Amino acid sequence: MAVRYPVMVDLEGQPVLVVGGGEVATRKVLGLLAAGAEVHVVAPELAAPLAELAGVGTIRWHATAYLALGRPRDHRPWWFVVAATDDATVNDRVVADAARAGVWANHAGRADGGAASVPASRSAGRATVAVATGGAHPAAARWLCDRAVDALDPAALEVLDLVEEVRAHDGRHGRPGRRPDWQCAVDSGTLDLIREGRRAEAKERLQACLSSSSD
């Protein structure tokens, strides 16, 4: 199995094309909307949840069979494409068209997701956990992701919020870009202070760790 390079993509306000209007397409669309994408759906018909979204203008529905990749009305290029119909031939053509256009595409009909797989993911505060199984079993990926999130230390998640506060304070005082050394923060007892509700003291510990590293 080829090793894949994981990456987090900012889709806020960017045009994304989903070809397909069924259950799989619905799951894809909901995830893209959660990421702030401008979602366009090409499908002759829509499942009820997608029809509701189209009815209120949350997604842009092009009520036709897939003919060509095309572009949004403002002529911007697609940032991402999802092939999620129940027709393997159509999905293959969508992905091939995207490849020719130099656009990353997810093939929902392939176990490995094609060129751009979408892992199971969950957010917890500032942390996002994503799990992929190389197409072995999507349900297993979701199961593992849920357990990974459940295993996160709530104190560590709160420390991440404090890190941002310390970085912002540092930046306002002419020292942008620095962040507390994480190992220093852990070893200094910052997590224990958070667990005890001593947030102000925890923040002071983090500020003391600023000079250690910017990693």
Residue 101 lies in a domain: yes
Strand partners, 39: 16
19 and 99: one domain?
Answer: yes
Q: How many domains does the chain have?
A: 3
- Buried-exposed string 188-207: b where 16+ CB fall within 10 A, e elsewhere: bebbebbeeeeeeebbebbe
Distance CA 111, CA 192 (A): 43
Q: Rounded mean pLDDT of the chain?
A: 92
The model's confidence at residue 1, banded by pLDDT at 50, 70 and 90, is: low
- What is the residue range of 106's domain? 15-118
109 and 125: one domain?
Answer: no
For residue 211, the model assigns a pLDDT of: 60
Residue 200 lies in a domain: yes
The answer on pLDDT for 206 being more than 50 is: yes
| Kind of pairing between the strands at 120-124 and 127-131 | antiparallel
- Nearest residue to 25 via CA among 97, 83, 104: 83
108 and 54: one domain?
Answer: yes
Residue 8 lies in a domain: no
Single pTM value for the model = 0.85
Distance CA 185, CA 207 (A): 9
85 and 42: one domain?
Answer: yes
Residue 60 lies in a domain: yes
Least confident of 3-12, 156-165, 168-177: 168-177
Residue 6 lies in a domain: no
Return the structure tokens found at 161. 């919020």
CATH (domain of 51):
3.40.50.720
pLDDT in tens, 16-69: 999 999 999 999 999 999 999 999 999 999 999 999 999 999 999 999 999 999
Residue 11 near residue 75, CB atoms below 8 Å: no
